[in-house]
Chain A
Amino acid sequence: MDSTTVSQLVQGIVSITPGAMLMIAVGGLLIYLAIAREYEPMLLLPIGAGAILANLPLSPLVAPDGLLRILYQAGVENELFPLLIFIGIGAMTDFGPLLENPKMLLLGAAGQFGIFGTLLLALLLGFDVNEAASIGIIGAIDGPTSIYVSSRLAPHLLGPIAVAAYSYMSLAPVIQPPIMRLLTTKRERRIRMQYTQRAISRRTRVLFPIFVTIIVGVLAPMATPLIGMLMLGNLMREAGVVERLTKASSNEIANVVTLFLGLAIGSTMQAEAFLRLDTLAILALGIAAFALDTAAGLLFARLLNLFSRVKINPLIGAAGISAFPMAARVAQKVALEDDFENFLLMQAMGANTAGQIASVVAGGIVLALLTR
């Protein structure tokens, strides 16, 4: 046995770098959050595993023909995976509460303020405009939209942006309530809203995804892929004649793609790309985006109350974001703290699904403004 053989045998050990070890620890942390805290386990677990696998010394998985590399090229670089996930989300989403209460669209739009607010903050911190827009889109609090936009505008920031978007999405119950209590009075939180249970006809439910796709597609062409896939899923759901496709989209396809997407995103978290000051800035800006969204939704709802005879409970304004259904549940929980009989879940769900649509449109607008 000569020294070459020995060095070949221990090449893994000697190739360990401190950065890679730190990234393996970060991967471990994500897995911990997924298992022990159940923060979006479906995504954070594969992302954490991908991060560990990609940072092991000389990992063949991230070699040009390695599995993680192939997954990345197959579905993230060309935005395929987030779009496939959108079909599943559409197939799982009931827009009924929104159709019962179309006014909620306003709250969904207000909830996107964080995107543009954060974009400005990121510009001030010295990110270039494409990076700033990708960071701002964390304010959509929507994992697939964030991945879609940043893979087009700033692929090198994909890892931290995806981690921020998904982990903050599940942190809604921690991040939102203090802001909600701060920006509303007890009296406002106790506003009871009349629930109007309108019978939404099947025709309306079927036409809704078609019209939304056409209107959004014409107004914001860059949003067509996202809204088109979301509404395709919803059309299949509401049509009721393609149950097998609906089921496959919302279960098998969504699950498989989620796994692939998580692994591919995790594999972008290599030490040299992730261990930078920028990452910390992105994580901080993500929180700012979430806080701004929440605040904008609450304040906008209060503004509406100045003009409207029928008062809305401003808490549902905070649900006008994409984190579904967490944001609606948070609104309901906070409302119950002050009045255990105040049930506004259905209205909050309406605002929440409006937030989903609005965040996709906002993503399309950001892309339209920045792609040349």
Chain B
Amino acid sequence: MRRYTVEVNGKVYVIDIEELASDRFNVRLGDQRYEVRLRGSEDVAGARITPEVLPLHVEGEAAGEGSAITPTVANKHRPPAPESMPTLPMSRPPGLPPASNIPGGDFRQEIVAPMPGTILTIQVSPGDVVKRGQTVLVLEAMKMKNAIKAPHDAIVSSVAVQAGQSVGYGHVLLTFEQPN
């Protein structure tokens, strides 16, 4: 489960998001519970978003203040919410595999764990320049070592995990900057 504390127009909301399946989430906001289904996800660099929260199932009080949150803190490369797609702030929609690895395709600003496992070694540090195909870290899953490689040439801007840490599917491992 992930907990996001967002401030909207000076008011603080605590949002708990629990991943039920890769595309289904349990979202709790105060007394209200939403079941959210992710319909799609795109990496649109620099896009601004105005997510809409549509309660599919509401438990507890009737939907009130929760139904029209517009978070001001938004991850700048998060997908724009397609119409009627309930979206909530997440570091990354963990449901879908990374959008593209085609050379010359969209630049991916982060690498996420392709499956649950344990970080064995981290072979880069922030500021490193990496080439496409270079191993950045090793993820052990089901007793097998899996080399996680850079999808394109990039500069490592941050490492979000530590060696020995266990990660779930979709957990952000590294973030990249575009090399100039």
Is B175 an interface residue, CB under 8 A from the partner? no
The answer to whether A358 has its CB under 8 Å from any CB of chain B is no
Give A341 to B100 CA distance when docked, in angstroms. Answer: 10
CB within 8 A of B114: which of A195, A196, A349?
Answer: A195
In the bound complex, residues from chain B placing their C-beta under 8 Å from that of A197 are: 19, 21-22, 116, 168-169
**Given contacts A197-B116, A325-B143, A345-B115, A339 and B21 within 8 Å (CB-CB):** no
**Interface-central residue, A197, A198, A328, by most chain B CB under 10 Å:** A197
Q: Does B79 contact A (CB under 8 A)?
A: no
User: Is A198's CB under 8 angstroms from B144's CB?
Assistant: no
Check A341 against B149 for contact (C-beta < 8 Å).
yes
Asked whether any CB of chain B lies closer than 8 Å to the CB of A124, the reply is: no
Contact of B20 among A194, A198, A339 (CB under 8 A): A198
Assembly CA distance A339 to B100 (angstroms): 12
* Docked complex Cα distance between A97 and B143 (Å): 14
Indicate whether A14 reaches chain B with its CB closer than 8 angstroms.
no
- Residues on A with C-beta less than 8 A from B21 are 196-199
Q: B101 within 8 Å of A by Cβ?
A: yes
Given A194-B96, A197-B21 in contact, is the A332-B146 Cβ separation under 8 Å?
A: yes
Give chain A nearest CB distance to B1 CB in angstroms. Answer: 11
Chain B 114-136 per-residue mask, 1 if CB under 8 angstroms from chain A, else 0: 11100000000000000001000
**A328 lies within 8 A of B142 (CB):** yes
Indicate which residue in A195, A196, A198, A346 contacts B142 across the interface (CB closer than 8 Å).
Answer: A346
Nearest residue in A to B143 (C-beta to C-beta)?
A325
Specify which chain B residues have a CB less than 8 angstroms from the CB of A325 in the assembled complex: 142-144
- By a CB distance below 8 angstroms, the chain A residues around B142 are 97, 325, 328, 345-346, 349
Residues of B with C-beta under 8 A to A211: none
What is the CB-to-nearest-CB distance from A339 to chain B, in angstroms, rounded to a whole number?
Answer: 7
Question: What is the minimal beta-carbon distance from B110 to any residue of chain A, in angstroms?
Answer: 13
Question: A329 at the A/B interface (Cβ < 8 Å)?
Answer: yes
Chain B residue contacts of A349, Cβ below 8 A: 142
Cβ contact within 8 Å between B144 and A332: yes
Chain B residues, Cβ within 8 Å of A332:
144, 146
Scan B79-98; emit 1 where CB is below 8 A from any A CB, else 0: 00000000000000001111
Contact of A341 with B20 in the complex, beta carbons under 8 Å: no
Question: In the assembly, what is the distance between CA of A343 and CA of B167, in Å?
Answer: 15
Mark out the residues of chain B between 142 and 160 whose CB falls within 8 Å of any chain A CB in the assembled complex.
142-144, 146-147, 149, 151
How distant is the Cα of A341 from the Cα of B147 in the complex, in angstroms? 9
Q: Answer yes or no: B141 CB below 8 A from chain A CBs.
A: yes
Whole-angstrom distance between the alpha carbons of A199 and B114 in the complex?
17
**A325-B143, A346-B142 are known contacts. Are A341 and B114 too (CB-CB below 8 A)?**
yes
Contact status A340-B133, CB under 8 Å: yes
Chain A residue contacts of B98, Cβ below 8 A? 341
Residues of B within 8 A of A346 (CB): 115-116, 141-142
- A205, CB-defined interface residue at 8 Å: no
Contact of B146 among A194, A198, A328, A343 (CB under 8 A): A343
Is A152 part of the binding interface, using a Cβ–Cβ cutoff of 8 Å?
Answer: no
Establish whether residues A345 and B141, one from each chain, have CB atoms under 8 Å apart when the complex forms.
Answer: yes
Partner of A339, one of B22, B95, B101, B146: B101
Residue of A at shortest CB range from B135? A340
A66 to B72, CA, bound (A): 81
CA distance A325 to B141 in the complex (A): 12
Closest to A198 in B: B21
A195 to B95, CA, bound (A): 8
Cα–Cα distance between A198 and B22 once the two chains are bound (Å): 7
A340-B149, A341-B149, A345-B115 known; A195-B144 Cβ under 8 A: no
Complex Cα gap A147–B55 (Å): 57
Known: A328-B144, A332-B146, A341-B149. 5 other contacts (CB 8 A): A199-B20, A325-B143, A341-B101, A343-B146, A346-B115
A interface, CB within 8 angstroms of B: 97, 192, 194-199, 325, 328-329, 332, 339-341, 343, 345-346, 349
Q: Can you list 10 residue pairs at the A/B interface with Cβ under 8 Å? A: A192-B97, A194-B96, A196-B21, A196-B23, A197-B19, A197-B116, A332-B144, A340-B149, A341-B149, A343-B146
